[in-house]
Amino acid sequence: MTTTIALVGNPNSGKTTLFNQLTGNHQYVGNWPGVTVEKKVGIVRGVEGVHIVDLPGIYSLSPYTKEEVVARKFLSEGDLDVIINIVDATNLERNLFLTEQLMEFGKPVVIALNQMDIAEKRGYLIKDAELAAKLGVPVVKISALKGTGIDECVTATLEAAKGSASTPILYSEKLEEYLSEIESKLPSTTPDALKRYFSVKAFERDHQALSDLGGVDVDDIVAKAEAEFDDDSEGIITNDRYNHITSFIHDIYDRKIEGESTSAKIDKVVTNRILALPIFVVIIGLVYYIAISTVGGVATDWANDGVFGDGWFLDPSPIVGIEGSQAKYDEAAGEYDEAQGCIAAYIEAGTEMEIKGAEELQASLDAEEDFDEATLAKFEAAAEENHLSATFIPEDEESGELLEDEAVTVDADVFEESLEVEEPDPTNFGIWIPGIPVLIENFLNSIGCGDGWVKSLILDGIVAGVGAVLGFVPQILILFFLLAILEGCGYMARVAFILDRIFRRFGLSGKTFIPMLIGTGCGVPAIMASRTIESESARRLTVMTTTFMPCSAKLPIIALFAGAIFGGIGLVAVAAYFVGIASIIVSGIMLKKTKPFHGNETPFVMELPEYRLPRLVDVLRSMWERGWSFIKKAGTIILASCVLIWFLSNFGFEEGVFGMVEDMNNSILATIGNAICVIFAPLGWGDWKATASTVTGFIAKENLVGTFGVLYSGGAGLWANMAAAYTAPAAASLMFFNLLCAPCFAAMGAIRREQGSGKWFWASIGYECLFAYCVALCIYQFGSAFIGEVNALGLAVAVIIVCFVLIMLFRPQPHYANVPETKIVYTKDEPAISGCGDCASCGAAVDCEKPEKKKAEKRFGKGGGCH
Ligand code: GDP
Ligand code: MG
């Protein structure tokens, strides 16, 4: 026989920490809401047959948030034996509000008074025996983090599981009369144990419960009660529960006088009205600077050029910025390249002057064969005689720009010297580890794989594509590591509050920031993170717009265009992030004024956890979990799509025969691109290559770079070819279209799941594409006009779009005028035992849904006690 324990409590009360303690499991412990949105099941260590279910954090059992729905469903379906109610000892009153609801489920309840370590440090005296007596349930003091009291908790729980259900608290006499009247009307099929729960829910006119009951008619009873109590039915219950709690809370709770907690002091600065934003910008800027530019930059270079390139030196000197094997090798390689350039220039000049032997040498050079000694001698003699001289102009490796200043004059002596320069062998410079592509190529050669399609598929398709993506892993891991530290120490929770002040005005929630931030890594977890936003409309809006943020897969796109066309990544990257954020805000403002997104403001309720030193294991775990999902993507969807793109761009019909094509213009990819590219002509890039790249970007955004690499390499090189193919406005339009349009298929899948309906899914994808199209069109048309290439029709359309957007942005919205400003609710500093006093000081006020609010309203009238 198994025993099932349900773990229920407020967000951040420590459920997951206790769950991990009990199961030895490694659930992700998080400091922002919604880390546990679904229930997690584990097996309790050390006792036979005990299962434990970690339910999402909830404040009450109303069906307003996804967390509440999940928790309620589990509890009311009754597949459990006992409930452990985790109560945050530093915030007793609010937590007990949930406890009293849990006691109505007809199951034994055990209270685990958690965070006792903090409570004791702050000098709270909690009389657990008295509390147990008041509520008639066992109470165990624990610290899930420190691991104290855990065994006692398990023992008490298993003991309670054998016993009878907790007895629900009694409400006021009058209310009890109404409740028993309702109870008598419940269908006879209602399980006895759940009768109390259903009576209360029916009284609250809870739709879900009423439909579970198969529609009992209790309207008259409830209406009568409402008239008598002069309150809505939900308020009546809330108030009664509160009265019950306040009636005994002071008997079981005391507090030694103490000063302001450290967290509160830190928060005074960090969440300060004026300082909060600059501090936030500096911290996030620093995180990105470290992750992308400095440490992450070195790591990514290593991964891209080393592990997934030619190879790398086992030599840590670049990390600490001193010259090591790599630098010495680079210098030697540079000399060799210059010598080769001089040789080529000299022979080319010789060919032009029709000097004896020059043509043969040129042929060996082209075929990468060694020179024939006799021909070489002949050529040298003839060259000397003719006083042959040439000029070699090196190219900048990255931009392909000719470096006139560094031109070398090649005469017979220089030529002779150049021939002497040997190609450096990296193994002579240090411990050299060949890159994965090199190893694979060597392996293929060793098993006798010729230069046919198999080799092309493996090297050009799979290794190149997947390698390009995995090359970003170090950068991403560092980013996630730093974000996990910010999260673990409690700063992220503050950020959500800080930004809520701003976002709320745009119809978004402060919690929108979390998806946005995660979205800079990957859109898939970002979209999933939007689950925690209570307001349905803000949640849909967030799902719809989060992928406007440039995710890590879009970084290579930015880097490509910045390098090839705009000459430098700095400003372009900043512009990309800015446009991403601006797109989300503009969309928020515009869409909020349309019918489907009207109204439905919900309060921003979140507890600010104490600042803590993050635990390294938690940080590493969080980093690894997010990083792993990225790596998994590379191994699955990107692998598959690389094979697909390789096939589409290498196969097609040539002279009526299907097969591998010589000329990529005949490939299937070209055919598809040609068919749809007219759509993009108004954006300045109606050619098949750009179109095909955009299409492959839907499979995974980094594909776009790979596809460009395949389609535009050769001749002068990728960057030069692209620069020749696109004007600056066309390139900007192409880049921003790809940054803003519908995300990759994986993210689209996440959007489909989170929007929950096909209609909303297509609306989201359609909106993103339309928005991207309009932005790209405006960029191209205004940009072209700016450089003097005016297209009257296109320009007119762009002007109309801008006017439309401006009208939408500035159209008055009365609904907006009254949006209350969010203030910080610092919940743990002052435990909520002084009733409505908290409300007045919390200030989150007008649309606060916390139980205190109801109580305050009761005493001071609507909106009362709060401002
Ligand atoms: P959940 O939202 O209820 O699942 O809460 P978590 O288990 O994610 O815990 C939230 C935060 O509280 C984490 O930072 C934990 O490390 C911390 N925490 C949990 N239990 C305790 C405890 O007993 N003492 C202290 N000091 N911190 C705790
Ligand atoms: Mg949790």
Q: Which contiguous run of DSSP H or E holds residue 53? A: strand 50-54
d(CA 533, CA 541): 10
Which pLDDT value is given to residue 607?
56
Which pLDDT value is given to residue 715?
64
Q: Give the Å distance between the CA of 415 and the centre of ligand 2.
A: 71
Give me 563's structure tokens: 């390098």
Q: For residue 6, count CB atoms less than 10 angstroms from its CB and return exposed for 0-12, middle for 13-18, buried for 19 or more.
A: buried
DSSP 852: H
Which pLDDT value is given to residue 634?
67
d(CA 721, CA 715): 8
Q: How many CB atoms lie within 10 A of CB 345?
A: 22
* Distant-in-sequence, close-in-space partners of 608: CB < 8 Å, separation ≥ 6: 263, 267, 490, 493, 494, 497, 824, 825, 826, 827, 828
Which pLDDT value is given to residue 843?
31
Longest alpha-carbon distance in the chain:
120
Kindly indicate the confidence band of residue 178, based on its pLDDT and cuts at 50, 70 and 90: very high
Specify the higher pLDDT residue, 813 or 523. 523
Q: Give the Å distance between the CA of 145 and the centre of ligand 1.
A: 6
Mean pLDDT of all residues belonging to the chain = 80
CA atoms within 13 A on the CB side of 698: 13
Which pLDDT value is given to residue 398?
55
The stretch 428-447 carries a mean pLDDT of 85
* Distant-in-sequence, close-in-space partners of 613: CB < 8 Å, separation ≥ 6: 489
Ligand closest to 9 (CA) is 1
Q: Which pTM does this prediction carry?
A: 0.54
Kindly indicate the confidence band of residue 469, based on its pLDDT and cuts at 50, 70 and 90: low
Give me 605's structure tokens: 């309720």
Residue 653 one-letter amino acid: F
Flag whether pLDDT at 571 surpasses 70: yes
Ligand 1 atom nearest the C-alpha of 30 is 8
Ligand 1 atom nearest the C-alpha of 9 is 3
Which pLDDT value is given to residue 180?
93
For the ranges 70-79, 688-697, 732-741, the one whose mean pLDDT is highest: 732-741
Specify the higher pLDDT residue, 599 or 581. 581
Specify the higher pLDDT residue, 401 or 287. 287
Ligand 1 binding site (Cβ under 6 Å of any ligand atom):
9, 11-17, 29-31, 36, 57, 114-115, 117-118, 143-145, 609, 612
Which residue's alpha carbon is at the smallest distance from atom 6 of ligand 1? Answer: 14
For the ranges 10-24, 454-468, 614-628, 762-776, the one whose mean pLDDT is highest: 762-776
Q: Is the dihedral of CA 431, 436, 438, 444 positive or negative?
A: positive
Which pLDDT value is given to residue 400?
55
Which pLDDT value is given to residue 839?
34
From 147-151, 176-180, 249-253, the region with the lowest mean pLDDT = 249-253
Tell me, letter by letter, the H, E, C secondary structure of 655-691. Answer: CCEEEECCCHHHEHHHHHHHHHHHHHHHHCCCCHHHH
d(CA 147, CA 574): 46
Which pLDDT value is given to residue 142?
95
* Distant-in-sequence, close-in-space partners of 360: CB < 8 Å, separation ≥ 6: 372, 375, 379
Flag whether pLDDT at 692 surpasses 90: no
Which pLDDT value is given to residue 612?
81
The stretch 177-181 carries a mean pLDDT of 93
Ligand closest to 10 (CA) is 1
Which residue's alpha carbon is at the smallest distance from atom 10 of ligand 1? Answer: 12
Which pLDDT value is given to residue 104?
92
Flag whether pLDDT at 272 surpasses 90: no
Contact status, residue 709 vs residue 727, Cβ threshold 8 Å: no
Specify the higher pLDDT residue, 735 or 362. 735
The stretch 482-497 carries a mean pLDDT of 81
Flag whether pLDDT at 243 surpasses 50: yes
Helix 373-385 / helix 358-366 crossing angle, nearest 10 deg: 130
Flag whether pLDDT at 236 surpasses 50: yes
Q: Give the Å distance between the CA of 252 and the centre of ligand 1.
A: 23
Flag whether pLDDT at 69 surpasses 90: no
The stretch 174-183 carries a mean pLDDT of 93
Which pLDDT value is given to residue 711?
75
Q: Give the Å distance between the CA of 35 and the centre of ligand 2.
A: 6
- Beta-strand ranges (E) seen in 311-352 are 311-313
Strands 50-54 and 40-43: antiparallel
Give me 851's structure tokens: 């139980």
Which residue's alpha carbon is at the smallest distance from atom 18 of ligand 1? Answer: 14
Kindly indicate the confidence band of residue 137, based on its pLDDT and cuts at 50, 70 and 90: very high
Ligand 1 atom nearest the C-alpha of 116 is 23
Strands 40-43 and 109-114: unpaired
Percent of the chain with pLDDT over 70: 84
The stretch 186-209 carries a mean pLDDT of 89
Q: For residue 27, count CB atoms less than 10 angstroms from its CB and return exposed for 0-12, middle for 13-18, buried for 19 or more.
A: middle
What digits encode the pLDDT tens for the residues 307-354?
877 788 887 776 666 777 888 888 888 888 888 888 888 888 888 888
Ligand closest to 35 (CA) is 2
d(CA 518, CA 407): 48
β-bridge mates for residue 9, sequence order? 86
Kindly indicate the confidence band of residue 589, based on its pLDDT and cuts at 50, 70 and 90: confident
The stretch 829-847 carries a mean pLDDT of 29
β-bridge mates for residue 40, sequence order? 54
From 111-115, 337-341, 772-776, the region with the lowest mean pLDDT = 337-341
Which residue's alpha carbon is at the smallest distance from atom 14 of ligand 1? Answer: 31
Kindly indicate the confidence band of residue 548, based on its pLDDT and cuts at 50, 70 and 90: very high
Kindly indicate the confidence band of residue 429, based on its pLDDT and cuts at 50, 70 and 90: confident
Flag whether pLDDT at 740 surpasses 90: yes
Flag whether pLDDT at 758 surpasses 50: yes
- Which residue of 23, 29, 621 sits with most ligand 1 atoms within 8 Å of its CB, as the best mutation to test the pocket? 29
Give me 122's structure tokens: 């702050």
Kindly indicate the confidence band of residue 200, based on its pLDDT and cuts at 50, 70 and 90: very high
From 19-33, 45-59, 292-306, 561-575, the region with the lowest mean pLDDT = 19-33
Q: Give the Å distance between the CA of 85 and the centre of ligand 2.
A: 13
Percent of the chain with pLDDT over 90: 18
What digits encode the pLDDT tens for the residues 403-419?
778 888 888 888 888 88
Which residue reads 């598929």 in tokens? 457
The stretch 109-125 carries a mean pLDDT of 88
Which pLDDT value is given to residue 155?
94
Q: Give the Å distance between the CA of 87 and the centre of ligand 1.
A: 11
The stretch 346-373 carries a mean pLDDT of 82
d(CA 843, CA 837): 10
Kindly indicate the confidence band of residue 613, based on its pLDDT and cuts at 50, 70 and 90: confident
Kindly indicate the confidence band of residue 30, based on its pLDDT and cuts at 50, 70 and 90: very low
Flag whether pLDDT at 837 surpasses 50: no
Tell me, letter by letter, the H, E, C secondary structure of 535-598. Answer: CHHHHHHHHHHHHHCCCHHHHHHHHHHHHHHHCCHHHHHHHHHHHHHHHHHHHHHHHHCCHHHC
Residue 8 one-letter amino acid: V
Ligand 1 atom nearest the C-alpha of 618 is 16
Which pLDDT value is given to residue 486?
85
Q: Give the Å distance between the CA of 217 and the centre of ligand 1.
A: 43
Ligand closest to 11 (CA) is 1
The stretch 24-35 carries a mean pLDDT of 50
Which residue's alpha carbon is at the smallest distance from atom 17 of ligand 1? Answer: 14
Flag whether pLDDT at 820 surpasses 60: no
Specify the higher pLDDT residue, 735 or 623. 735
Q: Give the Å distance between the CA of 499 and the centre of ligand 1.
A: 24
Q: Give the Å distance between the CA of 57 and the centre of ligand 2.
A: 7
Q: Which contiguous run of DSSP H or E holds residue 114? A: strand 109-114
- Which residue of 21, 145, 621, 828 sits with most ligand 1 atoms within 8 Å of its CB, as the best mutation to test the pocket? 145
The stretch 701-706 carries a mean pLDDT of 79
The stretch 256-282 carries a mean pLDDT of 77
d(CA 315, CA 793): 59
The stretch 743-754 carries a mean pLDDT of 82
The backbone region for 286, taken as left when phi is positive above 0, alpha when psi lies in -120 to 50, beta otherwise, is alpha
Which pLDDT value is given to residue 349?
86
For the ranges 124-133, 327-336, 514-523, the one whose mean pLDDT is highest: 124-133
Which pLDDT value is given to residue 432?
83
Flag whether pLDDT at 547 surpasses 80: yes
Flag whether pLDDT at 428 surpasses 80: yes
The stretch 115-130 carries a mean pLDDT of 86
Flag whether pLDDT at 830 surpasses 80: no
The stretch 245-271 carries a mean pLDDT of 77
Which pLDDT value is given to residue 292?
64
The stretch 276-299 carries a mean pLDDT of 77
Q: Give the Å distance between the CA of 17 and the centre of ligand 1.
A: 6
Which residue's alpha carbon is at the smallest distance from atom 16 of ligand 1? Answer: 145
Specify the higher pLDDT residue, 808 or 772. 772
